[in-house]
Amino acid sequence: MKTQLLTFTMAAALSTHAVPLLANGNSKVPGVAPVNNPLYAQECSACHFAYQPGLMPARSWQWMMANLANHFGENAELEMAERQALTNYLVHNAADDSKYKRSVKIMRSLSKDQTPLSITKIPYMVQKHDKLLPKMVVGNPSVRSLSYCETCHTRANTGYYSERYIVIPGYASWEDDDHSSKKGDDHSSKKGDDHSSKKGDDHSSKKGDDHSSEKDDDQSSEEGGVQSFFNRMKNLWP
């Protein structure tokens, strides 16, 4: 056991600066740097998805690693050597100095005095998920929470969180579902309204009334759904 711990600790130390070297100073590297630390992958993925260090600033990881006795309601304490090795890895590969695009955007969304204690509470993350409806997340038994990144982001383990790789269980891919549902709803309602109004209404009034009411209804219901979603999820995100 001691030999295994020593091996993992050495690997953690060696990989501490590996991610910045991979970026080669290129701010156009997409996503976030993937996890390349065997000790971190083993310890963290045993209970949940191994979140990449580049998803939070160093100060957040330092706070989290110093409070493992109450890790989102669970005791996740580690031996001192392991905890120190993991803290070093997380801090040195955090979003602060990362050249990966998503890490850069995460840091831009935070003020210097903000220390988010959850990835889902980061302003950038909130903004990126603001189109989701409750039925897609908390009302979806296959998802339940935004903290289960790998459930919908099919390439999350590689550090890619692009919309093209999102598939929400029970729905089409994010891009397909977003466009097709909107097209489908608009198309069917518009088709029905157009057919009925063609028989009884004048073309100009039909065009004006249908257009404005459809736009207002879609916009108000969408905004109401999003607002309701965040009000209901405030206490559900870890």
Q: What is the number of structural domains in the chain?
A: 2
Same domain, 64 and 87: yes
- Counting residues of the chain whose pLDDT is more than 90, the rounded percentage is 50
Same domain, 77 and 150: no
Same domain, 10 and 104: yes
Q: 15: pLDDT confidence band, cut at 50, 70 and 90?
A: very low
Q: 29: pLDDT confidence band, cut at 50, 70 and 90?
A: confident
Residue range of the domain that includes 218: 129-238
Contacts of 77 (CB under 8 A, 6+ apart): 68, 69, 83
Same domain, 40 and 112: yes
> Which DSSP symbol is given to 71?
B
Domain boundary, last residue among 97, 118, 139: 118
* Inside any domain, residue 29: yes
Domain boundary, last residue among 91, 118, 145: 118
Higher per-residue pLDDT: 31 or 173: 31
pLDDT at 93: 97
Same domain, 8 and 60: yes
* Inside any domain, residue 177: yes
pLDDT at 73: 83
Q: Over 90: is that where the pLDDT of 37 sits?
A: yes
pLDDT at 232: 47
* Inside any domain, residue 123: no
Same domain, 110 and 55: yes
Domain boundary, last residue among 95, 118, 141: 118
Mean pLDDT (the chain, rounded): 74
Same domain, 93 and 193: no
Same domain, 139 and 84: no
Q: Is the pTM of this model over 0.85?
A: no
Same domain, 70 and 30: yes
Nearest to 8 by CA among 79, 111, 98: 79
Q: 67: pLDDT confidence band, cut at 50, 70 and 90?
A: very high
* Inside any domain, residue 88: yes
pLDDT at 204: 43
Q: Compute the average pLDDT of residues 66-91.
A: 91
CB 39 within 8 A of CB 4: no
* Inside any domain, residue 166: yes
Could you give the C-alpha distances from 195 to 62, 200, 216, in angstroms and in order? 62, 9, 21
For 160-206, write each residue's pLDDT tens digit. Answer: 999 999 999 998 666 554 444 444 444 444 444 444 444 444 444 44
* Inside any domain, residue 7: yes
Q: Compute the average pLDDT of residues 41-60.
A: 90
Name the CA dihedral angle for 37, 21, 151, 87, rounded to a multiple of 10 degrees.
Answer: 40
Same domain, 188 and 210: yes
* Inside any domain, residue 124: no
Q: Over 90: is that where the pLDDT of 65 sits?
A: yes
* Inside any domain, residue 191: yes
* Least confidently predicted of 19-23, 29-33, 133-137, 199-203: 19-23
Higher per-residue pLDDT: 120 or 178: 120
